[in-house]
Amino acid sequence: MRYATGKSNHPLISGAAAVITLVVFLSSGFSAIASGAPRHVLRPPVISEGRATILPCTPQDQSTIGMMGCNGKHARDMDRRINEEVALIFTFLDPAEQLSLIRAEKAWLNYRNSDCDSVASLFQGGTIAPVVYGSCEVKDDQQYSDHLHGFYLFVTEGRGTVPRWP
């Protein structure tokens, strides 16, 4: 047993420390709930293309760079739109449903990335691969936006006045 580092080589002691830590963590969360303390507020997920280089978009420019620039612009525009749509839907959901939507959004984003990787891989090594990837993103984003609109219509059905769809 090593006391200087606080770590143990003995599996029972390490396991016991992990169990104690877990019990303390769980009990502190349950006591906060029981006391009526505010729980963690869920926020709608936000998708973004990260820090990708922004290329100019000139629709007349049919070069690889021009097409990549326009695909990037359309993808950023669709991301903003999807973020607005998800945020609006989020306001109609209870916390369990919000958590479910967060998980669905993450799964969809993983699907979109994998789908577009798959399509672009057909052109791996060629200059058209990033153009194909970007076109795929825009197509998948549009389909997802259409899906979200249907979801919005479903969650707002029968309600009085509802906010306008973005």
Q: What is the pLDDT of residues 8-47, one digit of tens each?
A: 444 444 443 443 433 333 344 444 444 454 466 788 888 7
CATH of the domain spanning 64-156, picked from 3.30.1220.10, 1.20.1270.180, 3.10.20.30, 1.20.140.160: 1.20.1270.180
Average pLDDT over residues 73-93: 94
pTM score, whole prediction: 0.71
- Contacts of 138 by beta carbon, 8 Å cutoff, 6+ apart: 71, 74, 75, 78
